[in-house]
Amino acid sequence: MTLRPSSDGAQAAHPVAHPAVEVEGLHFTYPDGTASLRGMSLSVQPGEKVALVGPNGAGKSTLLLTLNGILRAQRGAVRVFGQTLDDSTVRAIRAQVGLLFSNPDDQLFSPTVFEDVAFGPLHMGLPRDEVLARSREALAAVGMLEFAERPPHRLSLGQKKRVAIATVLSMGTPILALDEPSANLDPMSRRELIALLARLPLTILVATHDLALVADILPRSVLLAEGSVVADAPTMHVLNDSALLGAHGLEPLSAHGHPHA
């Protein structure tokens, strides 16, 4: 697939020196008083594929939601290709960071698969021919073109997740942030999803408990706990450190059984 840059002026050429994503000293507390991010800092280079792992409540999902302004940190900074997220840049940054929710039903709402995938490019004001081309290319990239006229509610969970990814690919975002993409998938759908993510030429951040997926396709792992980074290293260094994983409520990979074993 030839990924097309967004056409709203947001995705100009970026100096190579800028990280794709940079968060610095993020603090976020929910209205009920739950502190989710406590001084979170992280930098991701263009083209990196990074796992965010950690126990429930570590701040993984909250971090993803701050990357394109769905949640706004009370303190700290989010920068995407060097551009700081604020009221004046949030639209441009949302054109750079595609967010996939853990439940694809939160993302699919149109009468047909094709209309869901076309929704983003259409509302970017692109010409009709480009909208059609982007939508077809995105569906082809995830292996769902033959389902273009199917109602989303008639799809399996794995198919819905692939269509949700297509809704982001059609917008040409260079960064993909996914929240628990393999959760509740059957083994075949999970393998198909892993193969899809492995071949996408994008900067990818994945919040997940699926350590086998992490081992397969995400060379760098960031371990979060209580809203802070406690480890940031090559994936196999993190996954082979049973003491580190155990201290943060995670089982070593051997306990799950690796699909390649």
Compute how many other C-beta atoms are within 10 angstroms of the C-beta atom of residue 94: 22
Question: Is 240 contained in some domain?
Answer: yes
Pairing outcome for strands 21-29 and 75-80: antiparallel
Q: Are 206 and 51 a contacting pair, CB within 8 Å?
A: yes
CATH of the domain at 75: 3.40.50.300
- Contact by Cβ (8 Å): 238, 223: yes
Residue 217 domain-assigned?
yes
Structural domain tally of the chain?
1
Confidence at residue 259, expressed as pLDDT on a 0 to 100 scale:
39
Inside any domain, residue 202: no
- Count other C-beta atoms under 10 Å from residue 203's C-beta: 24
How many other C-beta atoms are found inside a 10 Å radius of the C-beta of residue 156?
12
In a domain? residue 184? no
Predicted pLDDT at 50 = 98
Domain assignment of residue 49, given as a range: 18-96+209-252
Write out the chain's pLDDT in tens, 261 residues: 455 544 443 444 444 579 999 999 999 999 999 999 999 999 999 999 999 999 999 999 999 999 989 999 999 999 999 999 999 999 999 989 999 998 999 889 999 999 999 999 998 888 999 999 999 999 999 999 999 999 999 999 999 999 999 999 999 999 999 999 998 898 998 999 899 999 999 999 999 999 999 999 999 999 999 999 999 999 999 999 999 999 998 888 765 555 333
- On whether residue 237 sits in a domain, the answer given is yes
**239 within domain boundaries:** yes
Per-residue model confidence (pLDDT) at position 258: 53
pLDDT of residue 254: 67
Are 256 and 214 spatial neighbours (Cβ–Cβ below 8 Å)? Answer: no
Task: Determine the pLDDT at residue 16.
Answer: 55
pLDDT value, residue 124: 84
DSSP per position, the chain:
--PPPPSSS------TTS-SEEEEEEEEE-TTS-EEEEEEEEEE-TT-EEEEE-STTSSHHHHHHHHTTSS--SEEEEEETTEEPSTTTHHHHHTTEEEE-SSGGGT--SSSHHHHHHHHHHHTT--HHHHHHHHHHHHHHTT-GGGTTS-GGGS-HHHHHHHHHHHHHTTT-SEEEEESTTTT--HHHHHHHHHHHHH--SEEEEE-S-HHHHHHH-SEEEEEETTEEEEEEEHHHHHT-HHHHHHTT---HHHH--TT-
Q: What is the pLDDT of residue 4?
A: 52
Residue 213 is assigned to a structural domain of this protein: yes
Q: Check residue 212 and give its pLDDT.
A: 92
Measured distance CA(125)–CA(117) in Å, rounded: 14
pLDDT at 130: 94
Q: At 226, list the tokens.
A: 């209580």
pLDDT of residue 30: 95
